[in-house]
Amino acid sequence: MSTFDLIVYIFFLLFVAKLHLVSCRGSFSSDPSNRQQLDKVLDLPGQSFNVSFASYSGYVTTNKESGRALFYWFFEAVEDTSSKPLVLWLNGGPGCSSVAFGLAEEIGPFHIEKDGKSLYLNPYSWNEVANILFLDSPVGVGFSYSNTSSDLLSNGDERTGAFFCLSLFSVIFVVLIYVDSSRSLISISYIAAAENLEFLLQWFDRFPQYKENDFYITGESYAGHYVPQLSQAIVRNNHNTGEKVINLKGFMVGNALTDDFHDHLGRFEFMWSVGLISDQTFKRLNIVCDFQSFIHSSELCEKVQDIAEEEMGDIDLYSIYTPPCKANFSRSNHPQSGKRFGILRIAYDPCTEEHSTVYFNLPEVQRALHVQDKSPSFKWETCSDLVYDNWKDSPRSVLKVYRELLRSGLRIWIFSGDTDAVIPVASTRYSIDSLKLPTVGPWRAWYDDGQVGGWTQEYDGLTFVTVRGAGHEVALHKPKQALTLFKSFLSGKSMPKLDLFSDS
C-alpha cells in the first residue's frame, strides 16, 4: 500500500469512527436544555422546605451496546451558579455509592432524618460555594447499572475494553503509530478511557453551560485511586486533543488509599500507637501484611487481621472514638464488616447509613430521581458486595500518577481525619514523604473560629491538611471544618491562621 493510499484509508476510518461515536452518544442528537429539564428533580419526597437552587438526576449511558449507564445527582450552587466552580465528588469502596455517603451524610445539601422518610438541610453543604456533582461509579454501585450482567463481575481500576464506542479509534491509532512509531503520535492507553471520563464528556454535552467553569474532582477512601486516575485521564485527553475539553484545575482527596505498602505501614503503626492492638499482633501484621494488596490480601494476612479485629473489640474503625451503630441494621452483608479492615463504610452517626437505605429504597424517591423508569428493578444498597468481591485490578500504588500530575500545574490537596484507623494520618504522611517534595510551608496548626481545626504542611505542588477529631468521613464528623477546608482549597489559599485581636 502506498503512502497516499494509507492516508486515504486512515481518513476513511476516522470518518467511520466519527459516525460510530455519534451513534453511541445519543446526547449529540438531542437538545441539551430538553435533556436537562427531563432530569430536573421537581418534587423530592420528604422535603418540607424551599431552596434557592435546582437539582438534576438521571443516567448517562457510557456504553450503548452493553447497556451501561451511570447515575448522577447534580446540585446547583446556592447562588451565582454560572460563576461558581463545578466539583465532582466520588466515593470509594470499591463499590460504595457517592449518593449514599458523600451526598446523604457528608457534603450534600440534603441529609436524611432518623425516620428514613424526611429530609433536613445541611448548613455546611459544599454547594454553598460550588456546583456539586455526585456520581455512582462503576456500574453496579448505587443506582448505576448495566443490562449485561457480566459487566458487574469485571469492574476494576482500568476497564481497558469497556468502551465499544472507542474501539474503532483504537484501531485507527494503532495504524497511526505503525506509520510513525518514532514520533508516537498518541498513546494507546489514552484511548482506553476510564468510564468516568466518558461519563464526564457526555455530561458536559448535556450541561454545556458548565464547560467553561473551573472544574475540580474530590473524593475519599478508595477514591484515592479514582480521583488521581480520572485527573490523569483528563489531562492526557486535553493534551491529545490540543484543547481544554474539560477545564480541570485540580483535585483533592481525603483519607485516601494511595500506596498499599505505606498505607499498611501507617495503619498498623497507628493502631498500635493508640493502643488498639497488642505488641505481638503489631509485629505479625508488619511481617505478614506490609507488602500485601489492600483489596486482594493473602489468606495468612487476613487471619492476622482477624486477630487484630478481635483485640480491638466492637469499635468503629472509621472513627475510633465514636460509638458504632447499635440499631437493628445488619452489617453482615458488608464484605469489610468484621474482617480485613477494608475500605467499605460502616454505619455512623450512629446510623446514618441505615437512614439512607430506607430512604433510597422508597418507590416515590426512586421515581422522583428518575430511577424506576430507566433502570432494572433492584434493591438499592449503600455498598455493593458483588462489585467489591469481583474487583479485578487494584494497582498497589498511585504515586506514579501523582508524580506525573505534579508536573501538570494542577492544584493538589490531600486531607486526613486523624481518628480514622482505616487509612490513618500516618499512612498518608508516609505516602507524601515518599514523593520527596520540597517544603514551602512548614508544619503548623490551622484554625476555625479561634480553635485548632487541625494541622497543615505545604509542599511544592501539594498541600496536606489534617482535621482534628474527624474520622474517615471528615465532613460527617467535622462538617464546619470540612467546609472551611473546601473553601481554602477552591481559593488556593493556605488554611486559616489564628487571628489575634487587640483590646486597644
Grid cell 464546619 in the structure block, residue: 480
Q: How far apart are CA 372 and CA 57, in angstroms?
A: 12
User: Widest CA span of the chain, in angstroms?
Assistant: 87
**Phi first, then psi: what are they for 397, rounded to 5°?**
-155, 145
Helix (H) or strand (E) holding 464: strand 462-467
Show which residues are catalytic: 221, 420, 472
Query: Is there a contact between 467 and 447 (Cβ–Cβ < 8 Å)?
Result: no
What is the residue-wise DSSP string for 200-234?
A: HHHHHHH-GGGTTS-EEEEEETTHHHHHHHHHHHH
Task: Find, among 468, 463, 469, the residue nearest to 488 by Cα.
Answer: 463
Query: Is there a contact between 448 and 498 (Cβ–Cβ < 8 Å)?
Result: no
**Phi first, then psi: what are they for 411, rounded to 5°?**
-80, 120
Q: What angle do CA 57, 371, 36 make, to 5 degrees?
A: 30
Q: Cα 395 to chain center, whole Å? A: 16
Q: How far apart are CA 479 and CA 495, in angstroms?
A: 16
Beta partners for 63? 68
